[in-house]
């Protein structure tokens, strides 16, 4: 397996895990959802993640995982369909 990390902003780290033959296995976003992210910052993060999801929607074979953190990490949310993933992304509030 290979892991590719991309720091898209100071609050958003994405990772793509691929198999040895290059097939995507999992995409992951780790998002700072703390109070320091309120307003424009969290709106930008929501926009960036939405663009990623719309360009390559999650599927059973290639799920999308979301981890948020403030003062502590949240549970990992794993999505195999775009609609629930978009709902979760829209709930990011920077609080």
pTM of structure: 0.75
Instruction: Give 27's contacts (C-beta < 8 A, 6+ positions apart).
Output: 14, 15, 16, 17, 52, 56, 58, 62, 63, 64, 65
pLDDT at 16: 62
Predicted confidence (pLDDT) at residue 90 exceeds the cutoff of 50: yes
Residue 57 has pLDDT above 60, yes or no: yes
Taking all residues of the chain, what is their mean pLDDT, rounded to a whole number? 80
For the record, the structure tokens of 77 come out as 């949310």
Predicted pLDDT at 87: 95
Average pLDDT over residues 59-85: 88
Q: Given this model, what pLDDT does residue 79 score?
A: 94
Q: Is the pLDDT of residue 48 over 60?
A: yes
């Amino acid at each position: 397996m290979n892991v590719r990390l991309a720091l898209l902003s100071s609050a958003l780290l994405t990772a793509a895990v691929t198999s040895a033959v290059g097939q995507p296995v999992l995409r992951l976003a780790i998002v700072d959802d703390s109070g320091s992210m309120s307003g424009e910052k969290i709106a930008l993060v929501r926009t960036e993640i939405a663009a990623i999801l719309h360009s390559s929607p999650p599927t059973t074979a290639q799920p999308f995982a979301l981890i948020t953190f403030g003062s502590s990490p949240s549970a990992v949310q794993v999505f195999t369909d775009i609609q629930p993933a978009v709902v979760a992304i829209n709930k990011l509030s920077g609080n």
